Every structure is written in structure tokens, then in C-alpha cells.
Chains A and B, each alone.
Chain A
Amino acid sequence: MKKTKLFAVIGTLFLLLLCVTLISSDHLDGTNIEGTTSDIADFYAFEGEDPDSTVFIATIQGNLNPGGVTDNANFDEDVLIEFNIDNTGDLVEDLVIQAIKRGDSIHFFGPVVPNQTGLESQIITTTTHNVVQISTSTDTFITNENGMSFFAGPRRDSFYFDMNRFMDIKLGNAAPSGFYTPEESTDFFNELNTLAIVIEVPNILLGDAPTHILESQGYINGLPQAYNVWVSSKRKQ
């Protein structure tokens, strides 16, 4: 009987700890990487100002308060940020753009065919190589080379969401009312920064896009051709 009670107490404490951990997480990622230098917050891909180009944005290390926390945040020389492009429709990367910090700059390689696909990568140094100095909160550095543009540094987080209320919903604490009204809701990310890597690439360097995968799978009709793209973070072993 005593043992059962003990388990109950331990179980409750564990649940409480889990809740605290989850609530304090940035975009609620797994605890193995949450809050580390490889933690991806968001990924965007959209048509650039030049309609013949595509923009890729990865934000990493989210939830940076303005001031010292933002100023002290930095990219990790052991973490490779890899932008993946599938242009054949099999969800396997055909091209990658690799980004990694060295000194006060981020070095970019590609777009290039990776020498292996999947969970492991090596940096391909024998391809197009561009460098941009890491920007600060006050100084912005941009590199325009080989038809591409590059940026890396702290920026205001573009993601807007009532994260705390979503946590209540997920944990069953917001039933039955659900989300708040616009007057009551709070944008968790409104006053926060994140580290960002931004690349703009001419579409001609990405190859022809395949049939939209949701169309080829029969889920939606009438969609334009589209690349499948994603970003991954990989740590040096």
C-alpha cells in the first residue's frame, strides 16, 4: 500500500516536471534537443522578390529575449544546418545547401548533390562556396554572390501563436472552451528573437520541380509543380 502511494507521488512529480519542461520549451520539441544549438524553431520557403528565385529561412535557437540573451546567442561550429531539396518527388534530398559557422562567418556550400542522403552528412567543399559575416542586432551583413543571397544572424521571430493556451489544450486543461478570443489571447513570440539563416536561390539552380506530391498521391487536384523541401540540423561526431 505504501509502495503504491510512493509510486503515485513519484508519478505525479514526474508529470509535473514534464509539464514544466514542455511549457518552457520553444516550439515544444523533444527534450533531447530542446534549447540546444541544434534546435530548429521554424522553416519557411517562399517565392522571392525576384519571382524566379526561392527563399529558404531556418530559424534556430528560438525564444531569445531581446538584449543580453540575444547578443550572447550564437551559431555552433559543430552544427551543420542543411537545406534539403527533393526535385524528383520521392522525398529524398537531391540537392542540399549546407551552412556552418567558422569564426565570425557562416559558410555556405551548394546547391549540390549530396554524397549521401539521410541522417549522416559530410560537408561538400568542392562546390560553390559562399561566406557571409554573421550579423548582430544592430549591424546587418548580406552577401550577394553567384546569383544567390545569404544572411545569418539574430532577427525578430516571425512566428505568431498563443503557445501557452495551446499547451493547456494539449494537456486537457482548456476544455471545453478551447482557444481564447482575440482580446484574451497572447502571442507568445511577439517580443522574442531567434537566430536565422536566410538564403535566396535562383530556381534554375534547383532543377525542374516535380508534380506536387499531394497531387501525385491523389489527395488534391489542380496544384502547381512543387519541390519538397525541409531543413535539418546535424552535429559533428
Chain B
Amino acid sequence: MKNILIHTKKFSLLLLLLFNFLLFVQCKDDDDNGNVIYQVNCGDGIQNGDEQGIDCGGEFCSPCEDSGINFDGTFIQEDIAGRPAVNMIFGFSDLAQNEYNISTVSNRSNFQEEFRTVLEAYHDIYAISLEVPVDDLDFETNVLNWDANIFSTVMSQYDALQVAPNGPTTYYDENENLVFTGRSLSDDVMDTTFRLIFGGANGDRFDGNNSTPQLTTDGVGPGNRDFSLPFPYLEPALTIE
């Protein structure tokens, strides 16, 4: 009886050892005929199996929340920009500028009349200083053959950059007879804008000559800026030497 018990204990011990041994038996990766067998573990701290992120997504793990980063919520517009300096030039009051910033591009018809008024106000400033009746000095049809109505309409109601995917970019290149195909870093957008406002039919109406005010160029160029750089195209930040 005692012997039987001893034999049984030995047998159990043997089975236990065998079982433990089997626990540590591992398949080598070259014995699965090229089919990699993944042990999906949603707590191993690495992205493996069919996981879409670290320990998330795929068939077995809980869904990813973009690597745990939260992008929820509703975002409300505070500022908007299309063409350069539109709000700076045509928003003559703080209230108007704030309203423009929270408007949509397709819903700006209410700004057209105000823009036109501002256009004339700029001219009135010079009429008074030149001692000319304000009614005698108004916006004149510009080099694009736009009168005050069209110009104020384009500036207010089409205030986006028009960018041509198949062609050179320029805000205004008179030599190439091309206008509004985007805005490159080097484009002198302010000179273009002021020339369209004050230049008249030939672009030289108020150019500082013949006792006229200089209003078609601000006299500033790009200086020592380098616009020939590869992506990201902008020069590195200036630092204190």
C-alpha cells in the first residue's frame, strides 16, 4: 500500500515536471512555415499583432482613441485670412474688423458697401490735404479695369486666395499678364494692393510724381530675406547673436 502511494506520488511529480516543462517549450519562428504567429497581448506595451496603436485596436484589444489623445469638442471661428491685408486696409473700425474675423467667405455681401465707403474715405483724406473738393477726388478704375463697385466686391466677397494648381504662382505679375494665381513668399502683395487702390487706369495715378502723394508703393522690398529655400520654404527664426 505504502509502495503504491509512493509510486503514485512519484508519478504525480513526474506529470507535474512534464507539465511544467511543456510550459516552457516554445516554437521557434522558423518552424511555422513562414506564417508568423502573433501572441496578441493587449498589455505588453508595444504595438504588435493587428493592433492599431500601442495595446489598442485590432480584433482583440479595446479601440484606440488616437493613441489616447483626445481630439473631441466643437471649435468656433475666431480669425480668418484669405487675401493679404484685407481686414487691415478695409476694416476701418475695430467693430468691423472683429465682425469680419467671425464671418464666412461665402457670406460677406454685407461688407461690400462698407469696403467701398472706406475706399472713398482714403481718397477724401488726400482731397482735403490737397485742398481739392472731396467729390472731385475719388477712386478711379484701376489697371484691372475694375471700378469702385467691382473692386470693393472682389475684396469683400471673394476674399480667398485663388491658387492655380497647374501654373506659376503670382499675386500679380504684370510682365506675364497674370494675376491672382496664389501668393508666393516673394510677392510684393502690399504694393500690388495699393496700386490697385490708388494707381488708376495706368497704375501711376498717385505715385509721388507731379506733386501727387506716394500711395502706390510703401518703399519697402524683401530686404535680405531668402525666398529660395526648400521645404518648409521659410527662413529659420532669427535669434539673438
Decide: A228 and B105 in contact? CB cutoff 8 A.
yes
* Contact B230–A193 (Cβ < 8 Å): no
Contact in complex: A156, B169 (CB < 8 Å): no
- Is A219 touching B213 in the complex (CB atoms < 8 A)? no
Is B239 positioned at the interface, with any CB of A under 8 Å from its CB?
yes
Question: How far does the alpha carbon of A183 sit from the alpha carbon of B221 in the complex, in Å?
Answer: 11
Please report the C-alpha to C-alpha distance between residue A32 and residue B161 in the assembled complex, in whole angstroms: 24
Q: Give the distance to chain B from A46, nearest Cβ to Cβ, in Å.
A: 4
| Bitwise interface map of A from 119 to 159 toward B, beta carbon under 8 Å scored 1, else 0 | 11111010001000000011010100000010101111011
Which residues of chain A have C-beta atoms less than 8 A from B104's C-beta? 92, 117-119
The answer to whether A91 and B75 have CB atoms under 8 Å apart is no
Which residues of B (131-158) have their CB < 8 Å from a CB of A?
A: 144, 146, 150, 154, 158
Q: Number of A residues whose C-beta is below 8 Å from B?
A: 118
Q: In this assembly, does B16 line the interface, its C-beta being within 8 Å of a C-beta of chain A?
A: no
Residues of B within 8 A of A186 (CB): 220
- Contact A177 to B181, CB < 8 A, known contacts A86-B160, A122-B73, A156-B225: no
Report A60-99 CB contacts with B as 1/0, cut-off 8 Å: 0000101100100000000110001010001110000000
- Say whether B81 contacts A42, CB under 8 Å: yes
Are B238 and A66 in contact, with the CB atoms below 8 A? Answer: yes
Complex CA gap A192/B237 in Å reads 8
Interface residues of A in 145-198 (CB under 8 A from B): 149, 151, 153-156, 158-162, 165-166, 169-170, 172, 174-187, 190-193, 196, 198
Q: How far is the CA of A150 from the CA of B218 in the complex (A)?
A: 33
Whole-angstrom CA separation of A92 from B230 in the bound complex: 31
Inter-chain contact B179/A220, CB cutoff 8 Å: yes
B160 contacts across to A, CB distance below 8 A: 86, 91, 213, 228-230
Contact flag A236-B237 (CB < 8 Å), given A43-B161, A230-B105, A231-B80? no
Contacts of B179 in A (CB 8 A): 220, 223
Q: Which of B19-27, B54-62, B122-130 contacts A (4 or more CB under 8 A)?
A: B122-130
**A120 touching B75 in the complex, CB below 8 Å, given contacts A29-B101, A45-B182:** yes
Q: State which of B78, B150, B206 has its C-beta within 8 Å of the C-beta of A32.
A: B78
How far does the Cβ of A163 sit from chain B's closest Cβ, in whole Å?
9
Hey, what's the 0/1 contact readout for B174-212 against A, CB within 8 Å counting as 1? 000111111111001010001000000000001010000
Asked if A176 and B213 sit within 8 Å, CB to CB, the answer is yes
**CA distance in complex: A126, B240 (Å):** 43
Please report the C-alpha to C-alpha distance between residue A186 and residue B34 in the assembled complex, in whole angstroms: 70
One of B3-11, B36-44, B84-92 at the interface: B84-92
Q: Cβ of A156 and Cβ of B235 under 8 Å apart?
A: yes
A44 and B184 form a contact (CB under 8 A): yes
User: A48 to B106, alpha carbons, bound, how many Å?
Assistant: 27
Q: Which residues of chain B are near A174, meaning CB under 8 Å?
A: 213
Q: Are B239 and A66 in contact (CB under 8 A)?
A: yes
Name the A residues within 8 Å of B181 (CB-CB).
223-224, 226
Known contacts A224-B166, A232-B79, A44 near B101 by CB under 8 Å: no
In the assembled complex, which residues on chain A have CB atoms less than 8 Å from the CB atom of B233?
Answer: 55, 57, 198
Cβ-neighbour of A206 out of B165, B167, B218 (below 8 A): B165
For A158, what are the chain B residues with a Cβ–Cβ distance below 8 Å?
Answer: 185, 222, 225, 227, 234-235
**Mind listing 11 A-B residue pairs with CB under 8 Å?**
A67-B240, A90-B106, A155-B237, A158-B225, A161-B220, A175-B130, A176-B130, A179-B194, A182-B221, A187-B223, A234-B78
